[in-house]
Amino acid sequence: MQSVAIRGMGPSKKSTLSEAQERFRSRLTRDGPPIAFVATDGQQAVGTISLIEKEDESDEFGPWIASLFVPETFRGRGIARSLLEVAENHSVRLQISSVWLSASTPEMYAAAGCKTTELTKNGEQVMVKALR
């Protein structure tokens, strides 16, 4: 598996494809956040993850790990874990001390060292990981 950095971020639940594409293009020269990473196997994208300032305007914490996705046919190969490590390492290079996320699968993130909080967001457990 090769990792390729793609600057920008994927569509949010409230975005049209054209709006997401425009945000992506406008952030091509940024070091992030926001920044997205795409895992590839040859020419095929096999997973994505983003690092964003906030998931929504009400967020008091950040930055956030978001949009971690690996297609079902590629799961079980460590791709999600590798993407999470890439986002964490990039955050450390940016001198970010912790990252936040809302998790539909908190067990996976707990295995990666994320700690649960008392917060929830959109019905999902909010977690945090200290990076230093």
Residue 105, SS3 per DSSP: coil
Cβ proximity of 20 and 28 under 8 Å: no
Mean pLDDT of 104-116: 95
pLDDT score of 73:
94
Q: Which residues contact residue 80 at a Cβ distance below 8 angstroms, ignoring those fewer than 6 apart?
A: 47, 49, 68, 70, 108
Which pLDDT band holds residue 4 (cuts at 50, 70, 90)? very low
pTM of the model: 0.76
Is pLDDT of 96 > 80? yes
* Dist. CA 103–CA 66, nearest whole Å: 9
One-letter amino acid of 16 = T
pLDDT per residue over 9-38, tens digit each? 343 445 565 666 666 555 554 677 888 888
pLDDT score of 132:
76
Q: Which residues contact residue 98 at a Cβ distance below 8 angstroms, ignoring those fewer than 6 apart?
A: 128, 129, 130, 131
Supply the mean pLDDT for the chain: 82
pLDDT score of 3:
45
pLDDT score of 21:
60
pLDDT per residue over 28-64, tens digit each? 546 778 888 888 888 888 998 989 999 888 889 999 9
Residue 72, SS3 per DSSP: helix
